[in-house]
Amino acid sequence: MLERINFLKPEAYPPSGEEKSAARVLDITAETCPMTFVRVRLALDRLPPGAILEVLLKGEEPRRNVPRTAAEQGHQVLSQAELPGGLMRLVLRRKG
């Protein structure tokens, strides 16, 4: 089961409308490429078409590659937001 990471305080980083409806939250901040997108793809594959996935990631390579690869595979990038500590919150809608 995918869980929200503990060190982000929800009141400090309120979710947008898309993030409030996220079916899953995936933390890949400790992963390195190519495992970053492998984990995202597996999570997306487990969701029904149109479902929302919120991804927390860190590092320049995942910031470039994960949104680009998700879009190339037909998923919709709903938002990207910078967070403190070099983190990024990426919200994706599964294709279909």
Q: Could you confirm whether 16 is annotated as catalytic?
A: no
Residue 13, pLDDT score? 44
Domain boundaries, the chain: 18-93
What does the pLDDT profile of the chain (96 residues) look like in tens digits? 443 433 343 444 445 554 457 889 999 999 988 899 999 999 999 999 999 999 999 999 999 999 999 999 999 999 999 999 999 999 999 998
From residue 69, how far is each of 7, 25, 36, 65, 73 by CA, in Å?
A: 27, 18, 11, 6, 6
Look-up: residue for tokens 């980083």?
13
Distance (Å, whole) CA 81 – CA 76: 15
Instruction: Spell out the residues 6+ positions from residue 1 whose beta carbon is closer than 8 angstroms to its own.
Output: none
Residue 23, pLDDT score? 85
Residue 82, pLDDT score? 94
Strand order in the sheet with 76-83: 24-27, 52-58, 87-93, 76-83
Question: Looking at 23, 33, 51, 83, which residue is catalytic?
Answer: 33
> Looking at domain 18-93, which CATH architecture does it have?
2-Layer Sandwich (3.30)
Nearest to 40 by CA among 28, 52, 50: 28
